[in-house]
């Protein structure tokens, strides 16, 4: 391509990139997607526009199209491990997501570790899953800690319930009673560990938390609440 032709292309797409940035800042993903298509219509080898298109498609829950875009542009998207694995995960291609994440030949970043933990749970690899969540909990102090802890305890409880012979090294801050879900799952861990008195205390607290949450929602009468909490008791 001649320098003159490239300059003409650059002149055409420069305002489109400015437009794309504006839509990205306002999270107007539909318009941002249309803009990426305009850019790629002018210059199909625009790596930045391709990446932005994939992000837009993911934000719009168009994971099949996003994954197809990644596959068709293998060279330009070779470093988009998370995006590829996340699309595969959302499309229920769990083994593919696992393979994609395991193909990364460097230390996984935080969001890749987070996704891998979810993939491992789906694959019933609870030992590894618990390990990743424990590491994430130790190395982070952000607004997602409560969700991480809930997922960690769920993985721990499922591991204990599905493999009673497993030797799990518990740590003092592993269990939590922050929410009904975490309290109930903590009780399951204690039950499967033979700690029946401690488990009963947790179950009683889970019952009270569940009842309080349902009463605050105000959508159920007393009989419905009793039925909902029956499994806990």
Task: Give per-10-residue mean pLDDT for the chain (233 aa).
Answer: 78 93 96 96 93 98 98 92 98 98 95 97 94 90 84 85 68 66 79 79 81 72 62 60
Q: In 172-203, which positions are buried (b, 16+ CB within 10 angstroms) versus exposed (e)?
A: eebbbbebbbbbbbbbbbbbbeeeeebbeebb
Residue 84 C-alpha from the chain's centroid: 13
Q: Distance between CA atoms of 122 and 223, rounded to whole angstroms?
A: 35
The pLDDT of residue 124: 94
Predicted local distance difference test score (pLDDT) of residue 174: 62
Residue 123 resides in a domain: no
Two structure tokens written together for 154: 């769920």
Predicted structure pTM score: 0.81
The CATH number of the domain where 10 resides is what?
A: 1.25.40.10
The answer as to whether 88 is a domain residue is no
Instruction: Write out pLDDT tens, residues 31-49.
Output: 999 999 999 999 998 999 9
Would you tell me how many other CB atoms lie within 10 Å of the CB of residue 127?
Answer: 13
> What are 2's two structure tokens?
């001649």
The pLDDT value recorded for residue 176 is 66
Give the separation between CA 231 and CA 233, rounded to whole angstroms: 5
Q: Which residues of 24-54 are buried (b: 16+ CB within 10 A; e: fewer)?
A: beeeebeebbebbeebbeeeeebeebbbbbb
* 34 lies in some domain: yes
Cβ–Cβ < 8 Å for 169, 146: no
Kindly state whether residue 165 falls inside one of the protein's structural domains: no
Residue 142 belongs to a domain: no
137 falls within a domain: no
* pLDDT at site 121: 95
Range of the domain at 52: 1-80
Residue 11 lies in a domain: yes
144 within domain boundaries:
no
Q: How many domains does the chain have?
A: 1
């Amino acid at each position: 391509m001649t320098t003159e032709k490239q300059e003409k292309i650059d002149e055409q797409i420069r305002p489109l990139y400015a437009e794309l940035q504006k839509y990205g800042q306002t999270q107007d993903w539909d318009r941002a997607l249309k803009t990426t298509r305009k850019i790629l219509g002018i210059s199909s080898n625009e790596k930045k526009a391709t990446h932005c298109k994939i992000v837009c498609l993911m934000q719009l829950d168009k994971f099949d199209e996003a994954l197809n875009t990644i596959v068709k542009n293998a060279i330009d998207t070779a470093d988009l491990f998370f995006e590829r694995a996340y699309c595969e995960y959302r499309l229920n291609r769990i083994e593919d997501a696992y393979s994609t994440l395991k193909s990364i030949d460097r230390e996984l970043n935080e969001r890749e570790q987070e996704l891998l933990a979810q993939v491992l749970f789906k694959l019933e690899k609870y030992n590894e899953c618990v390990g990743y969540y424990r590491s994430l909990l130790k190395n982070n102090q952000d607004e997602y800690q409560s969700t991480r802890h809930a997922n960690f305890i769920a993985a721990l409880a499922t591991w204990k319930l599905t493999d009673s012979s497993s030797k799990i090294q518990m740590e003092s801050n592993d269990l939590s009673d922050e929410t009904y879900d975490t309290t109930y799952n903590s009780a399951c861990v204690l039950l499967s560990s033979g700690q029946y008195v401690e488990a009963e205390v947790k179950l009683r607290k889970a019952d009270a938390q569940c009842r309080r949450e349902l009463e605050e929602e105000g959508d159920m009468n007393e009989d419905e609440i009793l039925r909902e909490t029956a499994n806990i008791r």
